[in-house]
Amino acid sequence: MITVQFRKGDEVFSEELPENTNLVVRTGIKKFPWPHLRYGCGMGKCGKCACQVLDGAAALPEPNWKEKKVLEGRLDEGLRLACQLWLQHDVTLTQDGVSVTPPKP
Partner 1 sequence: MTALMNPDEFRAALENAIKGRSANKSPFSIAWATGKLSRAHLSRWAENHYHYVGPFADYLGYVYGRMPAKYQEAKDFLLANMYEEEIGGDRHTDLLIRFAEACGTTRARVQDENNMSATTRALQSWCYAVAMREDPIVAVAGLVVGLESQVPSIYRRQTPTLREKYGFTDEEVEFFDLHIVSDEIHGERGYQIVLEHANTPELQQRCLKICEVGAEMRLLYTTALYRDYVEKDLSLQELDLAA
Residues in contact with partner 1 by CB under 8 A are 22, 24-25, 28-29, 40-46, 64-65, 83
CB of 83 to partner 1, least distance (A): 6
Minimum distance between the CB of residue 79 and partner 1, rounded to whole angstroms?
Answer: 18
By C-beta, is 12 or 41 nearer to partner 1? 41
d(CA 6, CA 93): 5
Q: How far apart are CA 7 and CA 95, in angstroms?
A: 8
Separation in Å, CA 29 to CA 11, 13, 52, 95, 97: 22, 17, 22, 20, 25
Backbone φ, ψ for residue 73 (5° rounding): -75, 0
Nearer to partner 1, 25 or 57 (CB): 25
- Closest contact distance (angstroms) between CB of 21 and partner 1 is 11
Between 17 and 24, name the residue whose CB sits nearer to partner 1.
24
